[in-house]
Amino acid sequence: MSEAVKERQTEVLISEFERLLNQSFDYNFKVADVVKGTIIKVDKGGIFVDIGSKTEAFLPLKELSNVPFSSPEDIVSVGDEKEFYIVKEENEEGQIMVSLRRVHYAKNWDKLNELRQNEETITAKVISLVKGGVIVEVQELRGFIPASQLRTGTPHEGLVNQELQVKILESDAKKNKLILSERLALAEERKRIAGSIVANLEVDQIVEGEV
């Protein structure tokens, strides 16, 4: 068998191998897709994830979490199976960029919208004071409580790092807008307590009160 024939056979075998390899993976990843993957390497520069693509997907540290962290190991570990958001399609090396932060972001907004529909009271931690109110953190998202919706009516340094019980006035993921009210939560709690007291009153019962 001539060298030319052997070389041609080798090329055919390689071509067939590449065809079979491509069939074994789903390479049709698009930006904004949410896919499942497994953490295979955690590095100071970023995280590598197996999502079934030609090469490992890359998760930059800035796309890891919505909350501050000292080390990526504080958030993920090798072997963790999670859902990832496709940020960028394949580059020249066939590598895809993914995000964990954006998946959590979307899920947290869904959770907040559900809580708002159910008119539930939630806990918010005050992060900082700003003109006209305070910035809070809730469900790994940032929200705003106007001064008029604070129990005190005026923001003060003593509120920073305090946890407040609040109601959701407005939530819009597209505009990244979350407006909360402490006053509304307090009013509901007072109403609940008053209702409980009235329910426990009996005929001819003597109670104390203030005028």
| pLDDT tens column, 160-176 | 999 999 999 999 988 88
Residues 9, 70 share a domain: yes
Within a domain: 184: yes
Query: Which of 47, 66, 99 is the endpoint of a domain?
Result: 99
Q: How far apart are CA 115 and CA 95, in angstroms?
A: 38
Each residue of 190-208: pLDDT tens digit?
887 766 656 666 666 665 6
Number of domains into which the chain is organized: 2
Structural domain for 124, as ranges: 105-199
Is pTM beyond 0.85 here?
no
DSSP 2: -
Q: 136-175 b/e with 16+ CB inside 10 Å = b? A: bbbbebebbbbeebbeeeebeeebeeeebebbbbebeeee
In the three-class reduction of DSSP (H, G, I as helix; E, B as strand; rest coil), residue 118 is classed as coil
Q: Any idea what the Cα angle at residue 70 is, between residues 178 and 39, rounded to 5°?
A: 85
Contact 182, 166 (CB under 8 A): yes
Q: Are 148 and 132 in contact (CB under 8 A)?
A: no
Per-residue confidence (pLDDT) for residue 21, from 0 to 100: 47
Query: What's the confidence (pLDDT) of residue 162?
Result: 94
Both 57 and 114 in one domain: the answer is no
Answer with the one of 99, 133, 156 that is the final residue of a domain: 99
- The enclosing domain of 140 has a CATH number of 2.40.50.140
- The rounded distance, in Å, linking the Cα atoms of 169 and 121 is 11
